[in-house]
Structure 1
Amino acid sequence: MSFEWTTPGSTSVQRGPSWSEMVSEACRLMGYSDPELLRYRGTDLQILEFFGQKKGNFAPLTNWLVRKLDVDDDAIKQSRVHTALAALSNSKTYYTTNYDDLLERSLRLAGRQVRVVARERDIGGNEPVEVVKFHGDFNNPDLMVFSEAHYYKRLRYDTPLDFKLRSDLLNRVALFVGYSFSDVNIGLLFDQLNELLKTLPDSDTGKRAYIVVNNPSDFEYTLFQKRNIEIIPTFGDKRTETLVEVLKEIVA
């Protein structure tokens, strides 16, 4: 989910970099002025795998992301989605695949005490809210999931954070925001979630997991229904506004 905000006193919307923009920057950092030349030869994950091999590490790309997401508290307060997420007072656990610290900062700006969980040693504590960085973050660069090899390792789902995720899914209702079947690891996670839920007593309705989908078609309804995940539909081209409305309705 790309960070979005408006500058105070202005109506123009500013956005953080998308995954595609990050991959394009990786191409430029390697000297390819036209990223499509590499996309013709491989997937985005393979391009990032190539980047890691050529550069020796992902520090140049991480530094670029840090600069792009260096926003102040006022900008975070102007983010409608982050403000709405922070207002979900009954939500105690947030999982994110984003690397930045904007979600936890938005929660703290809303007056909520937060513990960031990126490693096994972070699990547990007295803070009432936790943000689980499922793909690592800037404070844990060695855990950041960038390349094809990183994703293959992530797909094993055999780390302490994976065990925590399974536990949380079994004990809570899950709401997915900003994900789709085009996310390779999320598709597998949905399958595993379905396997978990269908073996539980009284879980045949599948109302334990929901996903917000903009302008859903029969394609999404069929695939998510097969996995017992209920779609919360939004419609129109203003995805941010409709998502915020859904989050506000949950609070109400």
Structure 2
Amino acid sequence: MNNELATAIKNKEVILFVGSGVPKNLGLPTYAELIDQMAEHLGFNPETFNAWGNGDFLVLAEYYFLQKGNLGGLRSWMDRTWHDSKIDISKSKIYKLIVEMDFPIIYTTNFDRWLERAYDYYEKEYVKITNVADIARTRNDKTQIIKFHGDFDDDSSLMLTESNYFNRLDFETSLDIKLRSDSLEKSILFIGYSLSDINIRYMLYKLHMQWKESSYEHIRPRSYIFLVDPNPIKERILRERGIIPIVAEGEEPGVSLAHFLKQLKDQM
């Protein structure tokens, strides 16, 4: 299976989809730490604040927005903390492999700039796409980095609150339409995602239904998701939706992902 995927990557037939598990390996703060920051900004005890929201980041961010009127303070803290000058992108095997594998299109649900900084560091050209205006600047000779849930350079694009996500459920924004179009001709490889992420599961469902309703499901390109937490129930559902799980066990997640990407690159 990995040989088939490696060949497709070599032939520029694969879209990479990057989740929060990838920059986590750089030591970025967790969502639990972001919740603590919201509590501090609002003058709440972090444990109490977290309990009131049942640990749901989207709900707590929604409350933060209603109380503050904007997400400026939280966004500034995230930007500063996630791009700490002590982080050395040259030491990340994962980001180096992503750049070297030369994917034509990369989608990411992350807000941070580490993909862009990795491409800058290794002097590989790219075009960043955050909104419909950026789509007009796409070029086939440069990697497209699509910030699917927003970017720190455009506060209005950030999907941080529950309302942001509810508005996205129609799956009809310009970036959603671009993804639907891109996925018609290319496979997708998902890395850095957990099957507990309802947002990614919903997106996979919508892509599956696009194919199912087209009557051309039999020619759909294969898509894959790399997982470090085996879950036979959710894996079965993924297969039903046209996504092949590749499960690694027994290693620390970052080590497993780096090993997986290295194997793919060596087989290309």
TM-score interval, smaller chain: 0.7 to 0.9
Which residue number in structure 1 is paired with residue 51 of structure 2? 39
1:196 and 2:210 correspond = yes
The 1-side partners of 2:86 and 2:181 are apart by 33
Amino acid paired to 1:70: H
Query: Residue 228 of structure 2 contacts residue 253 of structure 2 at CA under 8 Å; is this kept in 1?
Result: yes
Amino acid paired to 1:171: E
1:234 to 248, 263, 268: 248
Which residue number in structure 2 is paired with residue 182 of structure 1? 196
Which residue number in structure 1 is paired with residue 63 of structure 2? 50
2:100 to 87, 104, 107: 87
Query: CA 1:236 to 1:200, structure 2 compared with 1: closer, same or farther past 3 Å?
Result: farther
The 2-side partners of 1:238 and 1:205 are apart by 36
Higher relative contact order (CA 8 A, sep 6+): 2
Which residue number in structure 2 is paired with residue 11 of structure 1? none
TM-score, normalised via structure 1 length? 0.88
Query: CA 1:199 to 1:72, structure 2 compared with 1: closer, same or farther past 3 Å?
Result: same
Query: CA 1:215 to 1:205, structure 2 compared with 1: closer, same or farther past 3 Å?
Result: farther
Amino acid paired to 1:98: N
Task: List alignment gaps of at least 5 residues for structure 1.
Answer: 6-13
Q: Percent identical across equivalent pairs? A: 26
CA deviation map 1:178-231 (0-9, x unaligned): 123322321111101212334567744866210001131312322212212101
Query: What's the CA shift for 1:73?
Result: 9.1
Which residue number in structure 2 is paired with residue 10 of structure 1? none
Query: Residue 206 of structure 1 contacts residue 230 of structure 1 at CA under 8 Å; is this kept in 2?
Result: no
1:24 to 7, 25, 36: 36
Which residue number in structure 2 is paired with residue 216 of structure 1? 230
Aligned-residue CA RMSD (Å): 2.2
Instruction: Show the 5 A alignment for 1:131-210.
Output: 131-199=145-213, 203-204=217-218, 208-210=222-224
The 1-side partners of 2:220 and 2:62 are apart by 37
CA deviation map 1:103-155 (0-9, x unaligned): 01102222210110001111133351110001111101111001100110122
Moved more, 203-212 or 142-151: 203-212
Query: CA 1:74 to 1:191, structure 2 compared with 1: closer, same or farther past 3 Å?
Result: closer
